[in-house]
Amino acid sequence: MITSLIGDHLNSLFEASIKGISSYDFESITILNRLKITEITRKVELGGTSWNKVLSSQKLIDFVNNTTISDEILDQLFKTRFPASEIETVLDSSFFQEVYDRLSEGLKARNTYYYSNRDRLSFPDWFLDTLAYLRVYSDTPLEELVETVSGMNSIGYMEYHYPKMRIDERVRLIRLWGSSYLNVEEVPWDERLEIYKDCIPHIEFFEALYEVVGEPTSKKIFSVLQGTLRNSENAESLCEDLKKLLYTVSPPLLAEWFEQLYGEQDLVVLDSEIQKLSENVYSRDSTNVYAVIYGEQSLASDALKHAHEYAPHHINLLKHCIESRKKGFLRLILNEKAREVFVKLTRYNLLFTEEFRTIINLNSLSERNLVALSIMIREEEHLRLFNMDIPLTFEEFQFLYGKSNMDIDFYYSLIEDFTVGERLRIARELPELKTVRNLYQTDEDLFAAVKDLVKVMPMKQWVKEKHLCLSGAEDHHFLKVLLLPSLFEKFLTSLKKGSDVDFILNERELLAIADSLDEAKLMFVQRNKACQFLFEKLNVSSDFIQKYKVNIVDYYERGLCEIFQHLYQSKKFESYQLQNLNLITKAELSGKLKEIKFVQEDFELEIGMPVTNQVIKEWMRNRSIQMKEILVHETYDYETTLRLGQYPVETCQHWDDGKYSRCLLSNFDTNKKVIVAKGRKGHVVARAIIRLTKGSEKFITKKEPFKSKRLGFKDVEAHQEGEVIEDVIEPKEELILFLERCYTNMDGEHGRAVRREIVKLAMEKSKELGAKLVLADEYASDDLEELNSFVTDYFHIFISFSKNGFQYLDSLSGQAIEENEGHFNKGKVMFQVAAS
């Protein structure tokens, strides 16, 4: 047996040598294929890989026996990774030698990128596919074809995707890759291959399209057209309808229609539109493609007749409305004013989200609703909080959008028991329910208690009925009293402020042993460590504590004890600054801050020039402007001033170790105030410091000596005379009101609107003061109409004297110390030029 096998092997080896197969290549041939070596009738020099491919196919064996092609070319043809069946498709080619020569030269000009030697696309692979390509598209110049193939060969990710395709698909891919009418130049290489693969089934259509409408139109509409075919539920039928149009409509008119339909990125084209267009039901001579599709006199055609003015997201929504028969919304858009609002809505507006269209019936929208939508910011996290199975009116959606999950869930709980109007009134009167969440163990218990309350009467009516008058109270304070009547009943006559409600809730143990609310507050401040620290540093008497215990508790509850202690322990503060902090805080606790801030003689000492009583009176007055839900007003109150580096955004004067926190107390100077903008709930959304000082368009030299003693705050419990400044110069300057830059947490148009109101308030203030208004140059970027008469230029502003020693000139030089005081600082600002 073994002897017989050895003999057969030797015979096969001898036969192979006669055919030109070396012993090395013979070892590469499979045992099954070795049996077919006898069918080779002539000597051919091929490698082992090629012989394996040839001997696996009778057609290839016959071809090798009869061809006159050189062994070198044959070897390259058979070494391809692709199966013998694909090689068989090109055996009748007449381009072997020409392709081989051109391709050899073309591929040598480029380095082949590969992931591994096993995956690398080789010359034999491209040789086979180039021959296959010419069998289908013989009119392609070989030079262009080789350039295309060489370019494809240089793309690394081709190694993974290309070999998995059939030969007919690869040929079409090469055709698409070399086309000039597909708009893929801006598409990344890795995405481009996927686009080409999507186009392979429709290559005949794309080529016919190119022939009919030309390259510019083909490239312009390609992206949307290709996406439509990819996403179509019946791409084959859609393609047939498109082909029908190619052969029945004049090329110029067809190009115009296709550019209207497919000419914008992200535009959706419905299969039904193409089907209707191809059915020849309507007039074919209209240049408005939508009139042809939907009919000249149809509502759909009227809604889309302004399509050239719309962005894709507008057209897509209108098509959605046409398909889903939202005739009410289509008629709304025909209204000129509503259409003006609609066309200005960006693609990120809520109207264009599927979630919004699920919750709101578009037919119910009005022009007023569109205007409201135009300022509603689209946030996915807000949309996710809605129940898509429960429809809402637009008024309900508008109210709930942006609310917390808890408040939205509570609103849904009202639907079963109340009408739309009733539940909107109930929800609008209630505070955010998270503010009273800790009163109950579960949200369900809280919801039930609130519903029981409002079923009797609305919250505002309850407050009126119970005669609840609480200064500084927010809605949640009233709701807490109403939800827990037994807890507050004993103290109803003592409730004066919103903070009293919080005190009762937080200090129930003290109230259990105290006879009154006042007694409980006194006990609290006497025991609280933060308050004890405050009293120690202020060095106040027990009579002071007894007299102002209500104010002290309020001071603590606003978190001001924490700020006081932090500032006191800061290493940035000098001893005299801590003394200033003591005096200012003592004045705040005793309700006398105004007395120590606006000392009449300090006006002239700080500003450096005399001011009239009328100016002083106006400066002490706090003016305000009301915007919808935002109040813009002047203030000098203790908390706002201490927190101006904290709210609305953190800045360098933040009390908690801001870079220039030691400058913070200078904002209590006589000539400084703050303009703040607060929301309906009292939160600060914007602020800007204003300074009453002097200035000049020309430089003025400081004269010495100017100041010999430090300015200081008075002790509200003492009666000594205030310190004075000697040798004050009397310069010939003008009084100015300097509005520093605005800090806000509001973006875009909302931020600009708030800054406008701050500027308007500053303009009104400067007019009443008789002072020149000077603004930080940052306001120029808002391009406000109110500032049309202002110029941006350099101006000299006097650095006023400060009781704090350190002050921060936000829109000028930054931190200023005593050595800077009394100087004019040159800065680029906005102001009105004096008439010459």
**Rounded Cα distance, 620 and 639, in Å:** 17
Q: Given pLDDT bands bounded at 50, 70 and 90, which one contains residue 816?
A: very low
Mean pLDDT for all residues in the chain: 85
Q: What share of the chain is helix, strand, coil (3-state, %, to 5)?
A: 55, 10, 35
Residues 209-257 have pLDDT tens digits of 999 999 999 989 898 888 899 888 899 999 999 998 988 888 999 999 9
Has residue 610 got a pLDDT over 80?
yes
DSSP 339-369: HHHHHT--TTSGGGSHHHHHHS-GGG--HHH
Range name among 272-281, 585-594, 680-689, 702-711 with the lowest pLDDT average: 702-711
Give the residue with greater pLDDT, 615 vs 806: 615
Answer yes or no: is 696 within a domain.
yes
Residue 510 pLDDT greater than 90, yes or no = no
What is the tens place of the pLDDT at every residue in 270-309? Answer: 898 889 888 864 456 788 888 888 888 889 989 988 888 8
Give the count of domains, the chain. Answer: 1
Residue 707 falls inside a structural domain: yes
pLDDT of residue 577: 83
Please tell me the predicted confidence (pLDDT) of residue 700: 64
Residue 169 reports pLDDT greater than 60: yes
Question: Do 237 and 199 contact (CB within 8 A), yes or no?
Answer: no
Q: Say how many C-beta atoms besides its own lie within 10 A of residue 416's C-beta.
A: 8
* 734-739 and 672-678 beta bridge pairing: unpaired
**238 vs 707, more confident:** 238
The pair of structure tokens assigned to 17 is 């040598």
H or E element in which residue 633 lies: strand 630-635
For range 577-596, the mean pLDDT: 88
Does any domain span residue 283? no
Q: What is the pLDDT of residues 32-90, one digit of tens each?
A: 888 788 888 888 888 888 988 998 999 999 999 999 999 999 999 999 999 999 999 99
From CA 60, how far away is CA 541, in angstroms rounded? Answer: 113
- Residue 714, SS3 per DSSP: coil
Task: Please report the pLDDT score of residue 702 as a whole number.
Answer: 54
- Distance CA(718)–CA(712), nearest Å, equals 13
Q: In terms of DSSP H, where are the helices of 360-419?
A: 367-373, 380-383, 394-400, 405-414
Instruction: Please indicate, yes or no, if residue 12 is contained in any of the structural domains.
Output: no
Q: Beta-carbon neighbour count of residue 166 at 10 Å?
A: 11
Query: How is residue 471 annotated by DSSP?
Result: B
pLDDT at 822: 61
Nearest one of 360, 356, 393, 359 to 377, comparing CA atoms:
356
Residue 38 within any structural domain of the chain: no
Residue 699: pLDDT band with limits 50, 70, 90? low
- Residue 18 has a pLDDT of 67
**Per-residue pLDDT at 670 exceeds 90:** no
CATH, residue 690 = 3.40.630
Q: Is the pLDDT higher at 411 or at 21? A: 411
Range of the domain at 649: 603-831
106-142 per-position pLDDT tens digit = 886 544 443 444 467 889 999 999 999 999 998 899 9
Half-sphere exposure of 174 (CA within 13 A, CB side): 29
pLDDT of residue 731: 45
Structural domain contains residue 798:
yes
The reported pLDDT for the residue numbered 493 is 79
- Residue 764 in any domain: the answer is yes
Q: Which residues pair with 135 in a beta bridge?
A: none
CA 726, chain centre distance (Å)? 57
- Which has the minimum average pLDDT: 8-12, 326-330, 354-358, 805-809? 8-12
Residues in the chain: 836
Nearest-Å Rg of the Cα atoms of the chain is 42
pLDDT higher than 50, residue 28: yes
**pLDDT-above-70 percentage for the chain:** 89
Tokens of 450: 């609130």
Q: What is the pLDDT of residue 184?
A: 84
Distance, CA of 87 to CA of 96 (rounded, Å): 12
Residue 518 lies in a domain: no
